[in-house]
Every structure is written in structure tokens, then in C-alpha cells.
Amino acid sequence: MSLVIIAPSKKNTRFWQQSLSESLAQLGLRVNVEIWPEVEKPEEVLMAVTWKHPGESLYAYPHLRVVSSMGAGVDHILKDEHLPLHWQVVRIVDQELTTSMSNYLLAAVLNYHKQMYRYLQLQQHQQWGYTETPEIPLKPGILGLGELGQDIARKLQALGFDVAGYSRSPKELEGIHTYAGEGELDAFLQRVNLLICLLPLTRQTRGFLNRALFARCQPGTYLINVARGEHLVEEDLLEALQQGQLAGATLDVFRQEPLPADHPFWKQPDIVITPHIASVTKPEAAIPQVAENYRRMIRNEPLLNKIDRLAGY
């Protein structure tokens, strides 16, 4: 039995290989863990552990049964629309990742709430900038009420914010105003003045943050995107900022990463840029889940964190 790691952009694949071999051995499994492209017997590979794998690299393994993401996202796997239906796709769920994401979002929301971004700009020009209204009355709205969305919703609510959430299907969260489906999107957008994008990346949500959506928001709305760069139509964001429809944006994800040095976002004073660091899955949390799913796979037991291939998450 074999497992292949396909993650050419990762620098810690050797660590994954060694740690995963040890975790599988602790479960009583003798599995040959290999790193793409050096795979001795492709016909023995039953599981692939991937992160942004190249092209058709998965198709070299005729008996492949499970494709596991090395992180929480699976869009890099599902972008291949020809994946065999019998392949099961799973992701990593990490409570530390959830906490890390919420901490980033709390910092970003409070940056706008307390106008810290404004004071930093004034400091660069040696201006005092005192104001008698130091807090902006924000009403955060969360796009996507999965595990990450629900966590930040509760934490913002605990700080006293009036929080709303939007999802594809109806959700109920105590003390949170929830909206679902296209029919309730306008009501959601008109209730909030700060958008947090935590949507999964699917064909339906690609380019979701666009000119049409921004036009439906309240003037002066803030945007925080920590989901995927492909959710955002970058030209539409610049236009909305220039027109005042949006007041500012905090972006941790981009269509092209690293963000090119000549990208217009760098010179936009009302955009805060961070280099995709809002949350990072730790191998120590991910590897035991991968090993457990391998054990479950060979026993034909339900897998942990299996995604809905049709829904895309």
C-alpha cells in the first residue's frame, strides 16, 4: 500500500513524509509514503495528499481512492472538473486554524472600528488628527457561515457588535441575524456596513465580490477578504473605492501570489495588504487526520471531513 504527497510549492514535504509514516505506523499500518514525482509503484497508491498539485498529476495512479487536501481548502482539487466520481475528497479541520483566522479578523475589524488605519496615515504626515468620535459604528456581515464564519460571528457578537451572516442554505445562530440564498442577499447587504468574505470557492462564488455586489452595499462599506483571491474582481474593487461605494479593504488573498510589485493595490492607501497569513494549517494537526483517514479508507469506514463534491465544500 502506498500514499503519495503532491505539493511542489511546499518546502516541508520531507517532514510530512516522515511524520505521516510514523503516524500510520502507530495505527498499525505499513504504508509506503512517497513524494511526487518519485513514485516507484504508481499502481499501489491509494491516497494522494495534495496542495496545488500540477495539472493531471493525480491521474498517474490507477487505484487512487482518496484525495486529501493538506489544508482546509479544496478548491485547488475541485478546479479539475474531470475528477472521477469515485474519488473521495477530504480536507483538514484544525481548531488552531479557526482561532488564528478569527484573531486576524478581529484585528482587521477593530482596525476599522477604532480607525487605526487613519491614525497610521496621519502619523506619516506628522498630523495629530484628534476626533471626538473615535469609533465607527460597524455592523459586520459574514459571507459564509461554515466553521470559520460561525466562530468569528460569535466572537464579534461577544464584543458587542450587531452581527449578520449570509449563507447558501439557511442557518440558525443564536443572537446572529442570518440570511440565505439570492432572495435575501439584498436585505443582508443593506443591514451591514462591513463585509467579511469566508465563502468557499466554487463556480458559483468565483468573482462574487464584484461591481454588481458592491453597488448593492451601503455606501462606505468596508471589505475584508480572507477566503480566496478568485472571489474578488480586482478592477471592480478599485473602482468601488475610487467612487466611495467602499470605504476600505483588507485583503489577505489575491488572484496572483505573491502580489506583483507593480500591482495597483500596493499604491492604494485604503487597501491593507497581508501576504496570505490570516491562518495556516499546522502539519502537527493535519497529519494525524490524514493517517486516520487512510485507516478508515482501507476499512471502508466513513472518512473524516469529507466534502460534498457537488456543493464544492
**Residues annotated as catalytic (active site), given as ranges:** 228, 276
DSSP H/E element including 3:
strand 2-6
Query: CA-to-CA distance for 40 and 34, rounded, in angstroms?
Result: 8
DSSP H/E element including 32:
strand 32-35
3-class secondary-structure state, position 49: strand
Q: Cα–Cα–Cα angle for 230, 86, 310, nearest 5°? A: 40
Count other Cβ atoms within 10 Å, centred on residue 101.
23
Provide the CB-side half-sphere exposure for 93 (13 A, CA). 12
Query: CA-to-CA distance for 212 and 86, rounded, in angstroms?
Result: 38
Q: Which residues are 49's β-sheet partners?
A: 5, 68
Query: CA-to-CA distance for 270 and 260, rounded, in angstroms?
Result: 18
Closest CA to 312 of 48, 95, 75, 104: 75
Query: CA-to-CA distance for 50 and 238, rounded, in angstroms?
Result: 34
Closest CA to 208 of 267, 176, 244, 168: 168
Burial class (CB in 10 A: 0-12, 13-18, 19+), 235: exposed
Q: Are 48 and 61 in contact (CB under 8 A)?
A: yes
